[in-house]
Structure 1
Amino acid sequence: MPTARIYRRPKNAMSSGRANTQNWVLEFEPVEAKRADPLTGWAGSGDTRQQVKLEFPSAEAALAYAEREGIEAHVIPAPERKLKLQAYADNFR
């Protein structure tokens, strides 16, 4: 039985935007380890499920899909947003 993890993408640290962080992602866990290709040196494996990432509007929808398709899945809870409230004047203290 394939296993998968369901998580919410974190905000990109390189930008202030929150694009693509509202959806939940179902991603299959790797079955075999990656190995270096002798000709090119690129890492790869024969497991094609690692390329599949499905997006859902909620964790419940992702879990329902996993149960319907016979996929054993576990949900990784979304981290809490921590707001650092400060004023511009705090830079000159």
Structure 2
Amino acid sequence: CPNRIAIDFYHRYKEDIALFGEMGFKCLRLSVNWTRLFPYGDEEQPNEKGLTYYDSLIDELLKHGIQPLITLNHFNVPLYLAKHYGGWANRKMIDFY
């Protein structure tokens, strides 16, 4: 059975970013996970824990002199929106996005 956690950046980002800084990284591209901020995709208010995570992640990058390059949508759509609205085929998705 494959390990589904991979590098576990979510929990280890501080250590990983410190290593990136030691290696001289000046920029890091990262994706904002839509479902981390809006688990279903159609909420009125974002998930506070998701906002806190990204705030801390970006602060950590800047602390190590690494400029974040943020991708807003990296091929992920909340499953709820895909099932209930048909994904990007439905124009309502524009409002959710």
Q: TM-score range by the shorter chain?
A: 0.3 to 0.5
Higher-Rg member (1/2): 1
Give the number of the structure whose residues are more often helix, by fraction: 2
Give the number of the structure whose residues are more often strand, by fraction: 1
Q: TM-score, normalised by structure 1?
A: 0.32
Q: TM-score, normalised by structure 2?
A: 0.31
